């Protein structure tokens, strides 16, 4: 079953599923949610710690980023807990090129950079956002 909250996605990862897959499925559900109240509820519950500081901070960044991107009134309070921030920088790439890492440092969204997480400019993009789904439907040929 697809996770419908960020906490459920984290729980799937705690149970042994790949975090990347659980997050991708959660993001699909989040992006297709139509009401702000539903999106707020999908972020409200604090995920249990995953036991890895980077991943725990990442979950905080994701929730805050999604709240800001979808103009929710506030990000959930749990995203500002000390466990949701890293002491040392983490560039989410295996590329060792200094110029590329500098690029990530300057293009990371504030919700990630404030936690010492440096990633691409649009770290949570998925093909199945509501806008992408609407564009897809509009581009489909009308059958006669």
Band of residue 129 on the pLDDT scale cut at 50, 70, 90: low
Q: Indicate whether 54 belongs to any domain.
A: yes
CA dihedral 52→46→18→128, nearest 10 degrees, is: -130
* Distance separating alpha carbons of residues 12 and 122, to the nearest angstrom: 24
Report the domain count for the chain. Answer: 1
pTM: predicted TM-score of the whole model, two decimal places: 0.86
Looking at residue 139, its pLDDT comes to 52
Query: In degrees, to the nearest 5, what angle opens at C-alpha 79 toward C-alphas 75 and 85?
Result: 140
Q: Indicate whether 144 belongs to any domain.
A: no
Angstrom CA distances, 109 to 19, 29, 105, 106, stand at 21, 22, 9, 9
Least reliable range by pLDDT among 48-62, 87-101, 125-139: 125-139
Written as six digits, the tokens of 4 are 């419908």
Domain that holds residue 48: 6-122
């Amino acid at each position: 079953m697809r996770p419908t909250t960020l906490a459920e996605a984290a729980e799937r990862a705690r149970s042994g599923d790949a975090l990347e897959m659980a997050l991708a499925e959660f993001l699909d559900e989040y992006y297709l949610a139509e009401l702000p109240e539903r999106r707020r509820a999908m972020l409200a519950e604090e995920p249990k710690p995953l036991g890895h500081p980077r991943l725990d901070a990442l979950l905080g960044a994701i929730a805050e980023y999604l709240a800001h991107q979808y103009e929710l009134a506030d990000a959930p309070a749990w995203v500002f807990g000390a466990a949701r921030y890293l002491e040392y920088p983490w560039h989410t790439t295996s590329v060792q090129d200094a110029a590329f890492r500098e690029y990530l440092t300057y293009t990371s969204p504030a919700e990630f950079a404030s936690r010492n997480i440096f990633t691409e400019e649009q770290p949570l993009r998925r093909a199945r956002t509501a806008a992408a789904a609407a564009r897809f439907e509009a581009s489909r040929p009308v059958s006669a």
